[in-house]
Amino acid sequence: MGEKRHTRPGGRRRLSAALALALATSVAGSCTKDAPSTPELDPSPVFRSGSVGNEESLGGVDATMAQVDAFTTSPQGFPRLAVTVSSRNTGTVRRENPDVQLRCDESPRGGDWFLGSTWEPSSLIDGGGRSEGVVYLGFPAKPEDGRFTVPTCTGAKLTLIRVDDETGQRIEVAIPLPEDLISDAIDAATGPALPLPPRSS
């Protein structure tokens, strides 16, 4: 379709230290009596609400969705948002940015981000480093036809997703978005395909 959207490959997912330990325990115990269950190795995911402009702590990386704007629609007429993001690695080793998705009631999955974004979900930040820029988000795909996005987005939420490097706990922060912002994105003028060309100096 000409659009260069970033899909989220499963290869990005890493085994947590807890899961690796659980697998090692399973293999080691295969020739012995049943080992006692250790549910603390698989901590329950955390779901919480956030807000635009608020710094959110995501297990070693803090992120702020500083501003959310309607962007031009794609040449195919698909709505897009431009999200200004700042993130910082609070540790001393390289860590991944959180994933960021637009979620809507009309689809069970989140929307993808576009290549050409100057802040990239799941990209690495050096220990103690910061990452700032804009990520361009699309509406989620239709459940019945993944080639097209949903035309409307009720219950719109920006969702930040990250797995804590220390505990292996999945953290999701949902940031509600106003209806008029979504309407502006749907009604926006047609813009260029992404990635955008670099600005001339």
pLDDT per residue as tens digits for the range 90-113: 999 999 999 999 999 999 999 999
Alpha helices in the chain (DSSP H): 17-28, 179-187
- The C-alpha angle 182, 183, 189, rounded to 5 degrees, equals 105
Rg (CA), the chain: 19
On whether the CB atoms of residues 162 and 61 are closer than 8 A, the answer is yes
| Beta strands, E only, 9-77 | 46-49, 55-57, 61-71
Q: What is the pLDDT of residue 33?
A: 46
How is domain 43-186 classified at the architecture level of CATH? Sandwich (2.60)
What is the per-residue pLDDT across 31-73, written as a single tens digit (0 to 9) for each?
Answer: 434 455 455 567 999 999 999 999 999 999 999 999 999 999 9
Domain boundaries, the chain: 43-186
